[in-house]
Structure 1
Amino acid sequence: MGSVDRSCSPTKETSFGEYVKIVVPLTQDADGYPPISSESLWAEPTESCVGYSVANIPFFAPVLSCGAIVRAVPDEQGGLVFDGVIAGGGHSTVRIIFFDENSVESFKNSMKRFGCDYEVGHKETFLSVDVPPNVPYADVADI
């Protein structure tokens, strides 16, 4: 996990008592992508209790980014399942797959300089990047 903006991701010191997990069902294409059928995201109930604010960087869930306010409904086991977006949070999510492992560290350092956080996926060459509202998306895209 990157080390820049912790406002969007729970840290090891954080008590997860305030956070809930929301399962986002995913639709796989004919090639089996994404490689999972659902993704779990940490979220925090909003002050108004209208929804939940996404608290980590999604890897596969489309249209979701840090800070998005989402609706969730309980499943049969008492867990929460994603049921739609109420409002965006101003962040953007960029998913990057590197084919040259030697480029990964340089890219991570560039993201830190911009003030973007990132998470490393199931492979070291797969990153999900959070672009906060104060960072020009075009500048990040140029890297």
Structure 2
Amino acid sequence: MSERANRIEQDVRTYGYHLVSVLEEERLPPFLYTIGLELSYQHPDLVVFGLEYPVMGELLEQLARRVKSGDRFEGGGSYEGILEELPCAFLDVHPTRFREHFGMAQSFYRSRRFRVLQVVWPDEEGRFPWSAVFDRDFRGMQPNLHVAGEEELLDWDADVDTDHVQVIGAERELVKVTFFLARDEDGYPPYERENLWAAPLPEGAFRIESIPYYVRGISKGDVIDVAKQGARRFAKRLVAASGNSTLRIWTDDPETSQLVMTELLQRGCECDNAHDPKLVAVNVLAELDYREILEWVAAGAREDRWDFEEACTAREDQ
């Protein structure tokens, strides 16, 4: 096995995925893609074209973190707030494109089936390449891998079924709810308030849809009442507990955070560290054995591998 293949195997085992960068060629813009998301999380790998490498890397790492935390992106979907508050569309890459563009992925997966989603970014006005008014300055920077073909790279003006692309974020109708934070004598948490995504419910309450980083006493899935001031919503009180619990784990480095997330995801938890790569917010679902998960986390703390906090314990008997 080559040194590069060894590195890919090691990264997938350690972090859940590996990033491959491909240099710009005469007929092909630069691109970046993941290897391992299919194996680690049963989610299609991702590819993005035409941006600067640091931007593409940050974009794919952000998306990979979301996949690790339980988010799923579907071909034909457009998701809000992906690239500096702009949406990105996700389209299935046709398998006939694999050999030319994803040779390393094919070598890694060998005979195993895998899928790839192309992350398509818009222009500054939020218009995608298949739009007739897409910014001309960006044309040709994202080849169309959604249709069959092996060598010819089609532009988006070709006969491509993109009418079914839907804005997933808009369909979910999530809103931000503000929680005020009480600081301790050491000045923690470092912020005065935290905004959490929430879904409006028919009776006027809101269900929390993100894992809190700093709010105490609230878990993802809890139902709350809010007070509205202008366009903003502020949390008032807990209406119904979900039964989920919230843990927070602070590590010394992002690599340890990735190991923590990998372990807890395998145990059935939901995790997020998009806010801070050294802080892992954990949603322990009600059906899981909280004490068993807590003991694993506490054991790591006793070994000085990380610190942790029980931010919301759903049941008193736990």
TM-score category of the 2 structures, normalised to the smaller one:
0.7 to 0.9
What is the aligned partner in structure 2 of residue 134 from structure 1? Answer: 287
- Whether contact under 8 Å (2:70, 2:271) holds in the other structure is no
Give the equivalent residue in structure 2 for 1:32. Answer: 187
In the alignment, structure 2 segments of 5+ residues that lack a partner are 1-65, 73-77, 80-166, 297-318
Paired AA for residue 59 in structure 1: Y
**Aligned partner (choices 242, 256, 267) of residue 89 of structure 1:** 242
Tell me the equivalent position of 1:62.
216
- Aligned ranges for residues 1-143 of structure 1 at < 5 Å? 1-3=66-68, 5-6=70-71, 12=79, 14-16=168-170, 18-47=173-202, 49-75=203-229, 77-99=230-252, 101-120=254-273, 122-143=275-296
Q: Is the 8 A contact 1:72 1:80 kept in 2?
A: yes
What SS class does the counterpart of residue 30 from structure 1 fall into? coil
Give the 3-state SS of the residue equivalent to 2:211 in structure 1. coil
Residue pair 1:22, 1:82 contacting (<8 A) in 2 also: yes
The structure that is helix-richer by fraction is 2
Deviation at 1:101, TM superposition (A): 5.0
Gap change, CA 1:59 and 1:50, over 3 Å in 2: same
Is the alpha carbon distance of 1:56 and 1:122 closer, same or farther for their aligned partners in structure 2, counting shifts above 3 Å? closer
CA gap 1:59/1:87 in 2 versus in 1, 3 angstroms: same
Distance 2:69 2:250 in 1: 21
* Alignment check: 8 A CA contact 1:2 1:112 kept: no
Task: Tell me the secondary structure at the aligned position of residue 111 of structure 1.
Answer: helix
% identity of equivalent residues:
23
CA contact (8 A) 2:178 2:195 kept: yes
Q: CA deviation at 1:121?
A: 5.2
Q: Gaps spanning 5+ residues in structure 1: where?
A: none
- Which fold has the larger relative contact order, with Cα–Cα distance below 8 Å and residues 6 or more apart in sequence? 1
Post-superposition CA distance 1:39-59 (Å, at most 9, x none): 001111123x24100001001
| Structure number having the greater strand percentage | 1
TM-score (norm 1): 0.85
- The size of the alignment, in residue pairs, is 138
| Structure 1 vs Structure 2 CA RMSD | 2.2
